[in-house]
Structure 1
């Protein structure tokens, strides 16, 4: 049986190695070339991270997490970003890269309490990072304190929440500290979470600190806010809890606040304890 010329497959428009004449084929060839170039750069980046991991291992460096450094990287990329790719997609791409880099330098497990924090932890720490879902914030913190996990991701504190949900009341600072706020690229009204890990985070250049205050005699909200402002610690957020005659407050203030900050000594409270700090999230509506 013979075939007519019309039954034969059409001859290619171009010779092997030449540029296709069909616009769709041209675009696909360009994408393939770009994918190869991106892959080459990703492999080079992983090789640099491997060298860094080896040097840190020799120096006995503890945690591979560098939330301040990661925030600086993302801010720089967002500042130079242009074109049709949404900024949130850019951040998601680099969060996976950053998570894989952390895993190269030691790996870690994230303890999570809450459905919202679970989603945010997955987006922030990467799709391959092990998550341990736990029934309470206290259990998640205990997992980090006991070495079962290296990070706990917990719901944002809310004024008036049940005592068992107010995990910041018993946070063992400075042993455990807040190191990040999730998500880094935040949209208005979006659910948030805080990440807690052993030791202090690294500054990002634009940070906010959390401060736990305790006072006998139940000073009011306005006098406490005024005292913080007078000390140069004007609160962006101030949550109060009263238990008998004791007031406990959680304040969010600008900058990096440490336990030896002289501004804390002048506050009209019985105890002022920094709980860590985090890089200020970027707005999700930027173009």
Structure 2
């Protein structure tokens, strides 16, 4: 485009171009909805019913969006728009609710939930994190969001498991300094058929008596921990490359074998879109549950 003012498009011409782009966007959204209708019909014809969440596919879509993104439009704004489209498309397959952790900052929790799941999905707050886990485990297709805190008020992850509710995503997915809806949290739902192996696996680990030292040096992130009367419970995140035996060996190397170690889900690794910023998602978070032990 020429820098000569005489050669620049007029304001009216630019507005007509915006109108044309808006019409194209609307047409493409309607085309997308028709494809979703076809997916729903195909599922019903095959005997499958209900909502199908695919956090692995959603993560791949978001990663491709990062790769092709350019220009002045903030990436988090595109993320929010894309999440609204994805959530609405999922809702076309059937109704579902999102249950919020009432033990967290409720305003921050609602901001996070609306950013990722939009305004058309029903939100409920059944109680604390353990109540969210129980409610989701008893549902057919509902989701739950539980806030992550360094030291938990209760070991809510004990209610997770491969047959009930399990962790399927970690929020925020795009990590950046001063981003909107930045409350650290995990998404839980019932097991997803055909779900691919996530980038990160999550374990419920429990120690009685002797506690491990820093696990971070072994590639283990402590997402949250709870001090019991005689030990500690911890929610651990590891690379999917690590087997359960690898995690057990790493804990032993750190000084203590866990009395309980069981898988409770996994998630796609968040993307740091602000490489200059340090954050707990990339640095390993809280690595030593003995740090406050006097």
Q: TM-score range by the shorter chain?
A: 0.7 to 0.9
Q: 33, 41, 47: which one pairs with 2:28?
A: 41
**2:271 aligns to what?**
282
Gaps of 5+ in 1: 1-20
Residues 245 and 136 from structure 1, CA distance in 2 versus in 1: closer, same or farther, beyond 3 angstroms? closer
Q: State how far apart, in whole Å, the 2-side matches of 1:42 and 1:54 are.
A: 19
Contact 1:174 1:275 in 2 (8 A): no
Q: Which is greater in Rg?
A: 1
Alignment partner for residue 136 of structure 1, among 119, 128, 149? 128
Distance 1:58 1:246, change over 3 A: farther
Measure, in 2, the Cα distance between the counterparts of 1:263 and 1:204: 17
* Preserved CA contact (<8 Å) 2:50 2:141: no
Q: Which position in structure 1 is the counterpart of 2:146?
A: 154
SS at match of 1:269: coil
Q: Deviations over 1:204-257 (max 9, x none)?
A: 76x2222111233323324xx38x93xxxx203365444243432221112277
Question: How far apart, CA to CA, are the structure 1 residues paired with 2:196 and 2:267?
Answer: 8
Structure 2 residue aligned with 1:196: 188
Q: Does 1:24 align with 2:15?
A: no
- SS of alignment partner, residue 134 of structure 1: strand
Q: For residue 236 of structure 2, what is the aligned residue in structure 1?
A: 251
CA distance in 2, matches of 1:89, 1:251: 31
Moved >4 Å (runs of 4+): 264-267
Unpaired segments ≥5 residues, structure 2: 1-7, 276-294
How far did 1:40 drift? 1.4
Normalising by structure 2, what TM-score?
A: 0.76
Is 1:70–2:58 an aligned residue pair? yes
Q: Does 1:84 align with 2:72?
A: yes
Residue 96 of structure 1 deviates from its aligned partner by 0.9
Q: Does 1:175 align with 2:192?
A: no
RMSD across aligned positions (CA): 2.9
Once residues 146 and 162 of structure 2 are traced to their aligned partners in structure 1, the CA distance between those partners, rounded to angstroms, is 16
Question: Which residue in 2 is equivalent to 1:6?
Answer: none
